[in-house]
Amino acid sequence: MKGTLRGTMAQGVNLTPQLLQSIRLLQLTSQQLATELQQTLERNPLLEQDEPELETESPESDIAGFEAAAWDELPEPAFLAGMGSNGSFGGLDDDATARIADGESTDMRQRLLSRLALEWAAGDLPLAAFWLDRCDDNGYLEQSLDELQAEGEIEFPGRADDLSVVRQRLLHGEWPGMAAADPTECLSAQLRVLAASDARSLALRILADHVELLAAHDDTALATALSVDVAAVRDAVALILSLRAHPVEAPASVEDSHIVPDVVTWFAGGAWRVALGRHTTPRVRISAHCERALAGSDHTVLRGLLDEARWLVRGLAMRNDTLMRTAQLLVERQRGFLEQGDEAILPLTLREVADAIGVHESTVSRIVAGKYIQTPRGTIELKRLFAVRLEGADVSGSAVRAMVKRLIDDEPRHAPLADDVIAGILARQGVRIARRTVAKYRDQLSIGPAKARSIRSAAALQVAA
């Protein structure tokens, strides 16, 4: 056996420590970056925090004034075009005031009791409190009904019948299903407050006698057991699936944190302006007197610290520059979204942005990960400004999903739009999509089919009457 040597040539990338550090800085969130810099400042005495002078004219100096001015300068037609039928903008969140904490207790028992105190007799409130204190956070009884009934009769002698009546009032009251013994009783209570219909009657029969078949998703077996056709079973099952899994209503706002935007954009002087957030782009610099003292020094440890400091300063500068250029391009391309809402968002990919600013696609992916931009429409993730092009069309899937939501929001309450009807309306507007695509977007929006919406609308009208 004879051995041979053969030389080959190949290209490769040598990931130096400097390059690895720059890549890591790109993908750090603002909180992670702040922690990283704090640790580095404590470890490296050659670095110091660079505190820029406050700019009184900066858009961040007065956030409230900035947001008001941004809306004031938006062109009037775009302002109106972005509003939906309910006053929301472009199908984003509903009325922003609904997200402001309203001061209610986060304890569901206290919230419900405070409402009942306005309507119930004072003598029944202690009985209601008894049942609510024995419910878990989802609204279900924590012990068996018989045990709790016996305990209540001891605590409220001579009021056994009142205890049962009060539980039934809770069960079918403002939060249907409250104090239910099990999920079946909870769902049945929610059904009973709906308007009478064939689907509701069939749904009650399913919950009463055929929960196992419902859990198995066996519509054919349910149809056989109930002696009805499969279509009727599917309507009843759709009605059950539209109910809440538990009766407790969440408070108006439960916020345990806040987001500090990495980038700010505002409309002024007929153009969209972009700036990095002062609090999310901290700056560090090399201490001038330390750098002068080390000039010409050959001390290995100190020279190593100086090199580390220089790499970090350069890496931060590259991160900020890449973030700024990416945000500027995103704002420029998605100006329609900022002015009109989700229906105006354009198809945009990572590759398109990378090619436009002259970096690799992975660099764009890293720089937008976990970063937020503050706009007159609220603070959103930078990733939200990317959108996939709908196959065979010049619009994005996000825009079409917003169109579907607007059509459903504006539909007549007594005649909800079927998926094929929505597809037809969009086709007349120049957006051709299949019925199954409409159904897919509707499911993503957690909106039920037309039949389920019709039943819920009828129930709401009956309650209002």
Instruction: Give the CA distances from residue 68 to residues 220, 273, 331, 378, in Å, rounded to whole numbers and listed in that order.
Output: 58, 15, 19, 12
| pLDDT exceeds cutoff 70 at 257 | no
Whole-number pLDDT of residue 36: 81
Structure tokens at 83: 């509003």
pLDDT over 90 at 116, yes or no: no
Specify whether the CB–CB gap between 179 and 167 falls below 8 A: yes
pLDDT at 187 over 70: yes
CA 456 to chain centre: 25
pLDDT band, very low/low/confident/very high, at 280 (cuts 50, 70, 90): low
- Pairwise CA distance, residues 275 & 373, whole Å: 10
Cα 357 from Cα 359, distance rounded (Å): 6
- Bridge partners (DSSP) listed for residue 263: 276, 373
Average confidence (pLDDT) over 446-465 = 67
The conformation of residue 272, written as its DSSP 8-state character, comes to E
CB 44 within 8 A of CB 309: yes
Examine the pLDDT at 63 and tell me if it is beyond 60: no
Of residues 308 and 107, more confidence is placed in: 308
pLDDT at 355: 92
Angstrom distance (rounded) from CA 137 to CA 132: 10
Query: Is residue 324's pLDDT more than 90?
Result: yes
Residue-wise pLDDT tens digits, 397-447: 777 788 888 888 888 877 888 888 888 888 787 777 778 778 888 887 888
Within 10 Å of residue 150's Cβ, how many Cβ atoms? 11
The structure tokens listed for 327 are 């945000």
What's the gap between Cα 114 and its chain centre?
30
What's the pLDDT tens digit per position in 20-37?
667 778 878 777 888 888
Mean pLDDT rounded to a whole number for the chain: 76
**Could you write out the three-class secondary structure of 209-261?**
HCHHHHHCCCHHHHHHHHCCCHHHHHHHHHHHHCCCCCCCCCCCCCCCCCCCC
Residue 329 has pLDDT above 90, yes or no: yes
What φ, ψ does residue 429 adopt, rounded to 5°?
-95, 5
pLDDT value at residue 100: 31
Highest mean pLDDT (candidates 134-143, 225-234, 401-410, 421-430) = 225-234
Share of the chain above pLDDT 70, in %: 74
DSSP notation for 133-169:
HTB-TTSBBSS-HHHHHHHHHHHSTT-HHHHHHHHHH
**Distance between CA atoms of 456 and 459, rounded to whole angstroms?**
5
Split at pLDDT 50, 70, 90, the class of 6 is low
Decide: helix, strand or coil at residue 346: coil
Question: pLDDT band at residue 88, thresholds of 50, 70 and 90?
Answer: very low
Evaluate whether 260 touches 30 at the Cβ level (below 8 Å). yes
What CA–CA distance (Å, rounded) separates 303 from 296? Answer: 10
CB 314 within 8 A of CB 52: no
pLDDT of residue 461: 53
Q: What pLDDT does 353 receive?
A: 92
Three-class HEC string of 40-61: HHHHCCCEEECCCCCCCCCCCC
Reported as a pLDDT band with limits 50, 70 and 90, residue 62 is very low
In this prediction, residue 288 has a pLDDT band, given cuts at 50, 70 and 90, of confident
Is pLDDT of 15 > 80? no
Residue 90 has pLDDT above 70, yes or no: no
Whole-number Å distance between alpha carbons of 176 and 193? 8
The interaxial angle of helices 125-133 and 160-171, nearest 10 deg, is 70
Determine which of 33-47, 155-169, 327-341, 383-397 has the lowest per-residue pLDDT on average.
383-397
User: CA 367, 373, 377: angle at the middle one, nearest 5?
Assistant: 150
> CA 442, CA 279: separation in Å to the nearest integer?
39
Give the closest residue to 167 by CA, choosing from 154, 185, 184.
Answer: 185
pLDDT at 295: 65
Kind of pairing between the strands at 372-375 and 284-286 = unpaired
Buried b (16+ CB within 10 A) or exposed e, 27-42: bbebeebeeebeeebe
| The pLDDT value given to residue 11 | 52
Task: With a cut of 50, say whether residue 293 has pLDDT above it.
Answer: yes
Q: What is the pLDDT of residue 57?
A: 42
As given in the structure block, the two tokens for residue 162 are 């009142």
Beta-bridged to residue 380, according to DSSP, are 373
Domain annotation for the chain: domains and CATH numbers:
17-56+258-385 (no CATH), 138-241 (no CATH), 397-464 (1.10.10.60)
pLDDT band at 139 (very low <50, low <70, confident <90, very high): confident
266 residue type, one letter: W
422: nearest Cα among 394, 453, 462: 453
How confident is the model at residue 254, as a pLDDT?
A: 42
Give the best-scoring range by mean pLDDT among 25-39, 149-163, 294-308: 149-163
Q: Of how many residues is the chain composed? A: 465
The position carrying tokens 């999920």 is: 183
How far is Cα 148 from Cα 144, in angstroms, rounded to an integer? 6
Q: Please, are residues 261 and 277 in contact by the beta-carbon 8 Å criterion?
A: yes
- 85 — pLDDT class (breaks 50, 70, 90): very low
pLDDT at 74: 43
Condensed to tens digits (0 to 9), the pLDDT of residues 173-183 reads: 888 888 888 88
In tens, the pLDDT along 354-398 reads 999 998 888 898 899 889 999 988 888 898 888 777 665 567 777
Q: What is the pLDDT of residue 16?
A: 61
Q: What's the pLDDT at 58? A: 46
